Amino acid sequence: MNRVYALVDCNSFFCSCERVIRPHLRDKPVVVLSNNDGCVVSLTPEAKKLGIKMGDVYFKIKDLCNFHGVHAFSSSFRLYGSMSDRVMKIIATHVPKLEVYSIDEAFLVFEGFDYYDLVEYCKSMRAEILKQTSIPVSIGIAPNKVLAKLANNWAKKNPEYEGVVDVRNVKFRDEVMSKFDVEDIWGIGRQTAKKIRGMGMKTALDLRDYQNDQAIQKYLHKPGRQIQDELRGEVCFSLSESAPKKSILVSRSFDHQVKDKREIEEALVRHTTHAARKLREEGQVCRTMTIYMRTNPFRETPQYQKSAYFRFVSSTNDTGELVTAAMQLMNEIYLEGYEYKKCGVCLYDFEPEDQRQLDLFSKSHEKSEVMKLMDDIHLLMLSGKSKLKKPPTPEAS
């Protein structure tokens, strides 16, 4: 049966969410900022036209934003998460299989759609998403994921396609690929792009037609070879539907330089508690945790960064056990006298909670009852909070 892939991607997603609750910002330049309002993590085409780029440090472009009336928002992930759910649910009613790839993207597989006009089908799906959620999306249709990404990117850059680009036609695909920079190919980052340029290639078409297999293997390794194969129309990356998580990371930057050990300790307790809750939500237990802390690499001050790991005798998702381990690790690596900027906790080596290997003396069963209670209370508090009127999101403009 003919398998066709598609990628649905929400345009300037975080900004679009802010526009949903502030419709008057349609057509206005909007940016959304990271934690502590550090840098730009989402921006609209109108903001892009003013010269603002993804990742720009906000304090450096603040004057520009004020001058041009750019609307800047702190990020509110609860809003983005719920908007994302709504979009994904609509998509799910249109296809038998989808992979939610990120908060604003989903890969789709069309199987048994041989007699459908997929471009028209996707256009109507797009219209429905827009109508029900006010979120504009772009859709790329292709024989595999890398090409679906490429088609999607082309749809974003060329509004005349009305949000849907289909590159299944080989002649049209060649034409698009000949104008598509290697830097923009999914999976090719800065380092790899530099190498590819050094090998004399500029476009996706150049990479597809590059014949020296040994050089590809030597310099671009397995990922490079797979991307080249997909550019040639083969399928290397299949759809992965809701794979369980393999690691959970919780980290934050401080909004100031931190010297005090107590303050780092408190942050690590918070992060560990948060991570443990996420782990239980996944229905998993972990065998290994690492913590890390580091100074501010953008400063001229003395630099220090260190991580340490802890391996549990029997896997756990118990907050108390995890926090105890985190504190022990912290004492191993914390050094007096440095100005710390960030710390974090990572949990990995998971197994399903109901299959865990218990050691002889483990009391995990009684503990997990306590943990369940804690999570219920947390949920209750969340739902209570969400009913309260939220203070307006700080608007930095």
Partner DNA sequence: TCTGGGGTCCTAGGACCC
Q: How many whole angstroms separate alpha carbon 95 and alpha carbon 107?
A: 10
Mode of pairing for the β-strands spanning 137-142 and 164-166: parallel
Contact criterion met (CB below 8 Å) for 149 and 186: yes
386 binds DNA (CB under 7 A): no
> Which segment (31-39, 84-92, 107-115, 383-391) binds DNA by CB under 7 A?
31-39
CA distance 291 to 269: 11
Q: Tell me the C-alpha distance between 325 and 153, whole Å.
A: 45
Quick count: other Cβ atoms within 10 Å of Cβ 70? 23
Does position 255 interact with DNA (CB under 7 A)? The reply is: yes
Residues 113, 172, 186, 310: which binds DNA (CB under 7 A)? 186
Q: Is 66 in the site for DNA (CB under 7 A)?
A: no
Q: Is 394 in the site for DNA (CB under 7 A)?
A: no
**Distance between CA 181 and CA 203 in Å, rounded?**
4
The piece of 54-62, 163-171, 377-385, 387-395 that touches DNA (CB under 7 A) is 54-62
Which residue lies nearer to DNA by CB, 290 or 362? Answer: 290
CA-angle at 100, arms to 94 and 101, nearest 5°: 135
Q: What whole-number distance in Å separates Cα of residue 105 and Cα of residue 149?
A: 10
Residue nearer to DNA on the CB measure, 124 or 238: 238
SS3 content of the chain, % helix, strand, coil (to 5): 45, 25, 30
Determine, following the binding rule CB under 7 A, whether residue 193 of this chain makes contact with DNA.
yes
Q: Which amino acid does the sequence have at 197?
A: R
- Give the interface segment with DNA, choosing from 138-146, 217-225, 313-321, 356-364 (CB under 7 A): 217-225
Task: Read off the tokens for 13.
Answer: 């997603």
In the complex, least distance from residue 314 CB atom to DNA, rounded to whole angstroms: 16
Tokens standing for 24? Answer: 């008057």
Describe the crossing of helices 221-231 and 145-157 by its angle, rounded to 10 degrees: 70
The yes or no reply on residue 156 touching DNA (CB under 7 A) is: no
Select the span of 64-72, 134-142, 167-175, 240-248 touching DNA (CB under 7 A). 240-248
**Comparison of 107 and 161: residue with beta carbon closer to DNA:** 107
Task: Check residue 250 for interaction with DNA (CB under 7 A).
Answer: yes
Regarding 233 and contact with DNA (CB under 7 A), the answer is: no
269 counts as binding DNA under rule CB under 7 A: no
Contact residue for DNA among 211, 298, 354, 391 (CB under 7 A): 298
Rounded CA gap, 27 and 144, in Å?
A: 33
Query: Which of 26, 51, 53, 59 contacts DNA by CB under 7 A?
Result: 59
| Contact positions vs DNA (CB under 7 A) | 34-36, 38-39, 41, 55, 57, 59, 101-105, 149, 185-193, 221-223, 245-253, 255-257, 278, 296, 298-299, 309, 311, 341-342, 344
